[in-house]
Each structure stands twice: as C-alpha cells, then as structure tokens.
C-alpha cells in the first residue's frame, strides 16, 4: 500500500503559495513530515485528509485490496479508510469518552449496536482510557485528550492515518506513551506524522521528508540522510556577541546556549579553523536543509 503525491500545488486566496509542486511516495509504516511553522505541513495534511482542494497535481492511494483511490476526487471512498487527528480538535466537555466514541462510530457507519460497543471498548483499552470511559472529556488532561483523539482516528480500522503535531504540549511520560501507541499502529497502516519536533521523527519513523516554504527539501530514510552529513558538521563555542560575525564568514546552521556559551554548528565540506568535527544527527540534517532553502530564497 502506498500514497503517491505528484506535483501537488496549493495557493490560498490571499496569495500565499502553501504547496509548490510537492512529490512524495509514502509506504506502509511511520512516515515523518518535518518542517518549521508555516512550511506547508498542515496544508499538505489537510489536502490528503480531503478537507481542502488542491490547485493541481494528484494524490493516489494504491494497493488497497486491489483498489486505486484518487484522493482528490474520490473523497467519500478515501474517508472510509482514513483516520485523522488534527493539531487542534475540539471535544464536547460534558460528554463522556465512551458516549462520544460511540457517536463517532455511528457516524462512521457502524450501525450494529453490539459491534459498535465492542469496537468502542477495544479502542478505549488500546489507548489506555478504558478506566476513565465514564468521565466527561472536559476533565481529561492534555495527554488523555490526545489519546482520545487517536482512538477516534482509529474508528473503522483505517488504512491511512494522519496525525498533525500530536505530541505538542505533552509531558515526557505522556509523549513516550504516545510514541509507543503510534509505533504499534504503524505496523499495519500508513501513518503520517506531521511535526516540528525532530526527536519524534528520530524515534518513530523509518522514512521521512523535510518541507520548507511549500517545497520538499529532503526525503528518505533518516539514517541515510544523517549519514550524508558525515564529515560536514563542525562545532565550536563562542560568545553570544560573536554569532553574527561567524554567520558572515561561515554557513552556520544552528546555535544553542550551553553553560553560558553558545554552541555553534556550521556546515562545510572542508575542516574549519577553530572548529571541531562532530557526529551529525537528524537535527543537523533539518537545520542544514532549512537554512539552505532560506538562503536560496533570500538571495
């Protein structure tokens, strides 16, 4: 099963070009979509989720029991196999988790009451909310609401699941539980994880893409993308007042305050005087690709 996105474009009425010829092939498993705020991630997710029209291009879901679905035109068919957890979703505060999930299952077309009850109970068990199923959603913590969001996204056994910034605002324990849940779901489903948290992609995804200013600037296996930077990332510690000087003479990709000094990472194919080599990670890939794109646009 694959999701094939070709030459996808979207420009809003205010002139913002959110997507500029996006091309991606997403296979079964966890797929990470990284990018800064305003990069086009949510626009891409909303288009795949059939919530907005594209200007041009195609999105197809192939290999689904012999079906080949056109996501942009066969929206009702796609919605039957889609689970979606947006970045922000509302809940009815005075409705219990059990009642709300039952209602969602009804909307999904599960008419048999006994079957629906079994599905609702199973999903609440899966997301570790069964013990609080009788509590109103308004009493849930942020992490509990996110887990309820995943439960509603799983109603109907979807084959394509989209989660947009799912771990934002969660404490470390809730985030870890959420990671485990997403990993389990991704074993038999296409799960697209849209986020700006690099660590989430490092921990969860075997395939990924980085999007910036509406364009894909990198795509592939995270380990391969990191390996491509071997021998090209250099580190030094400087005073905060020196950062701008270094930016003018080096390709600085990131800075971070550590112990009163600023750790500076720079990209270079050759050794840099006063810098030490450093083993790259996915964060270096992210910043290298984003800064490269921004520099091109600025020039």
Q: How far apart are CA 42 and CA 261, in angstroms?
A: 35
Output the pLDDT for position 299.
36
Query: pLDDT of 105-162, one tens digit each?
Result: 998 888 898 999 999 999 999 888 999 999 999 999 888 888 888 888 888 888 899 9
As assigned by CATH, the class of the 2-220 domain is: alpha beta
**What 8-state DSSP symbol labels residue 1?**
-
Residue 131's CB: how many other CB atoms inside 10 A? 9
Contact 250, 190 (CB under 8 A): no
What is the residue extent of each domain of the chain?
2-220, 227-298
Q: Within 10 Å of residue 286's Cβ, how many Cβ atoms?
A: 25
Give CA–CA dist 207/209, Å, rounded. 7
What tens digit of pLDDT does each residue of 182-192 get?
888 887 889 99
């Amino acid at each position: 099963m694959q999701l094939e996105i070709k030459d996808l474009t979207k420009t809003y009425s205010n002139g913002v070009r959110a997507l500029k010829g996006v091309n991606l092939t997403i296979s079964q498993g966890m797929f990470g979509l990284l990018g800064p705020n305003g990069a086009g991630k949510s626009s891409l997710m909303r288009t795949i989720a059939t919530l907005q029209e594209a200007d041009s291009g195609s999105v197809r879901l192939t290999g689904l029991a012999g079906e080949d679905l056109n996501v942009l035109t066969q929206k009702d068919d796609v919605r039957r196999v889609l689970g979606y957890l947006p970045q922000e979703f509302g809940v009815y505060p005075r409705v219990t988790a059990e009642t709300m999930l039952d209602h969602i299952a009804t909307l999904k077309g599960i008419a048999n009451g006994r079957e629906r009850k079994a599905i609702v109970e199973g999903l609440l068990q899966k997301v570790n909310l069964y013990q609080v199923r009788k509590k109103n959603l308004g009493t849930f913590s942020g992490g509990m609401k996110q887990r309820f969001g995943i439960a509603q996204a799983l109603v109907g056994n979807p084959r394509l699941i989209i989660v947009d910034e799912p771990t934002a605002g969660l404490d470390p324990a809730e985030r870890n539980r959420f990671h485990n849940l997403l990993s389990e779901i991704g074993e038999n489903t296409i799960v697209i994880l849209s986020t700006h948290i690099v660590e989430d992609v490092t921990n969860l995804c075997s395939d990924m893409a980085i999007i910036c200013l509406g364009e894909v600037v990198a795509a592939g296996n995270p380990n391969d993308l990191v390996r491509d930077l071997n021998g090209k990332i250099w580190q030094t510690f400087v005073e905060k007042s020196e950062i701008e000087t270094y930016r003018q003479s080096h390709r600085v990709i990131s800075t971070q305050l550590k112990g009163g000094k600023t750790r500076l990472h720079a990209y270079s194919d050759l050794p840099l005087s006063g810098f030490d080599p450093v083993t790259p990670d996915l964060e270096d890939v992210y910043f290298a690709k984003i800064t490269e794109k921004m520099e091109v646009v600025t020039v």
